[in-house]
Amino acid sequence: MVTPDSAAWEPEHEEDSMPTPEIMPETAQLFAAEVLAGLTKPGQKELPSKYLYDEIGSKLFEVISALPEYGLTRADERLLRLNAHSVAEELPGRVVIAELGSGSGKKTRSILKAFSRRGPTFYHPIEISATALAMCEHELSDMDSVSIVGFEREYLEGLREVAARRKRGEKILVLFLGSTIGNFDPPADVEFLQKVQGILKGGDALLLGTDLEKPMGQLIAAYDDLLGVTAAFNLNLLARLNRDLDADFTLSQFKHLARFNPETRSIEMHLKSTRAQTVSLDGGRVKVDFQDGETIWTESSRKFSFADLSRMAETSGFKSVGQWVDHEWPFAENLWIVK
Ligand SMILES: C[S@@+](CC[C@H](N)C(=O)[O-])C[C@H]1O[C@@H](n2cnc3c(N)ncnc32)[C@H](O)[C@@H]1O
């Protein structure tokens, strides 16, 4: 049971719970409201996965990308390296590149290289994480023919800003790599893609990285690695609530859990309470009870079939014009054009 005095969780407490520099005031309020809603929801408690990416979370995600168990990033990177020119050939003319949730931007280099052969290229990473955005800007800063203007924004808000700056005759290529679309549970994935499509114009494109179905053991290992980096990434969310929302989670009393949900074909990450306990947030103004074994659902990573991908393109108003598949770690890069 929860005793949220939500009226008490208002900006009047700004002084005693100053947001970290990473969070702007209005987003800090949204953060508090969404955390409160997720932890006090009847039934399964949950926290939005976007909050995994504070400074420590963004750095831990970079380490996850290099782990032997997590073949996803390497597959995505291989496909981009081998096929960036084919992507560029499909999109003649002047193209502005916007990337949703760029992370460190390392993999994006091949795409930017392919487009910058034609001339100066504009690149807009859109990131909720100031740390990831800074890593991305630093990572690609040596590309002389690429102008980088990043937006520390939520995906759609950032994309709207990029679209509003479009000059006559320019096309937009949206990159959404790393299978981040798998973090949206259906039907939110298609609803999100429809919104992206709605911001774009006919002839604009989306390059969508999608992790494909694979054996469950391989998936569990990828999200529960032997070094415990993914566990640290997940638990850092509670540490973040302690830091930024004046909560008192005892980290050793929660365990990282990765499990496969066969109905949704997703790997779910949870944080499991190892005992019955009460946690407080906002300096004790909000209390959340946990039963022994109860979990907080922190992320889903859905795995796609080719049929899913065709259906998603069709229902979100795109036409598929290219698909490249990695067979070492089943993963597909999909190039869709707005109809
Ligand atoms: C799974 S990581 C992928 C990073 C990179 N694209 C890759 O493929 O390695 C997701 C990235 O999206 C960012 N992100 C998550 N939710 C977001 C949102 N709602 N708006 C903007 N960025 C978001 C995170 O900060 C993180 O860097």
Interatomic CA distance for residues 93 and 20, integer angstroms: 42
Query: How many other C-beta atoms are found inside a 10 Å radius of the C-beta of residue 238?
Result: 21
- Nearest residue (by CA) to ligand 1, atom 13, is 101
Interatomic CA distance for residues 305 and 214, integer angstroms: 10
Residue 85 confidence (pLDDT)? 98
Q: Which residues line ligand 1 (CB under 6 A)?
A: 50, 53, 58, 61, 65, 73, 101-103, 126-129, 132, 154-155, 177-178, 180
Asked if 244 and 18 count as a contact pair (C-beta separation under 8 A), the reply is: no
Residue 67 confidence (pLDDT)? 98
Cα(209) to centroid of ligand 1, in Å? 13
Residue 27 confidence (pLDDT)? 83
* Parallel/antiparallel/unpaired status of strands 94-100 and 121-127: parallel
Residue of 107, 127, 196 to mutate, ligand 1, most atoms within 8 A of C-beta = 127
Q: What are phi and psi of 19, to 5 degrees?
A: -65, 155
Q: Considering all CA atoms of the chain, what is the largest pairwise distance in Å, rounded to the nearest integer? A: 61
Mean pLDDT of the chain: 93
For the chain, the 3-state helix, strand and coil shares in percent, each to the nearest 5, are 40, 25, 30
Cα(150) to centroid of ligand 1, in Å? 13
Omega prior to 262 cis, within 30 of 0? no
Interatomic CA distance for residues 49 and 234, integer angstroms: 9
Residue 56 confidence (pLDDT)? 98
Residue 25 confidence (pLDDT)? 66
Residue 158 confidence (pLDDT)? 98
Question: For the whole model, what pTM was predicted?
Answer: 0.93
Strand order in the sheet with 266-273: 45-46, 295-302, 266-273, 254-261
Asked if 338 and 208 count as a contact pair (C-beta separation under 8 A), the reply is: no
Residue 292 confidence (pLDDT)? 98
Interatomic CA distance for residues 128 and 74, integer angstroms: 23
Residue 18 confidence (pLDDT)? 38
Residue 28 confidence (pLDDT)? 86
Asked if 285 and 268 count as a contact pair (C-beta separation under 8 A), the reply is: no
Residues of the chain with pLDDT under 70: 1-25
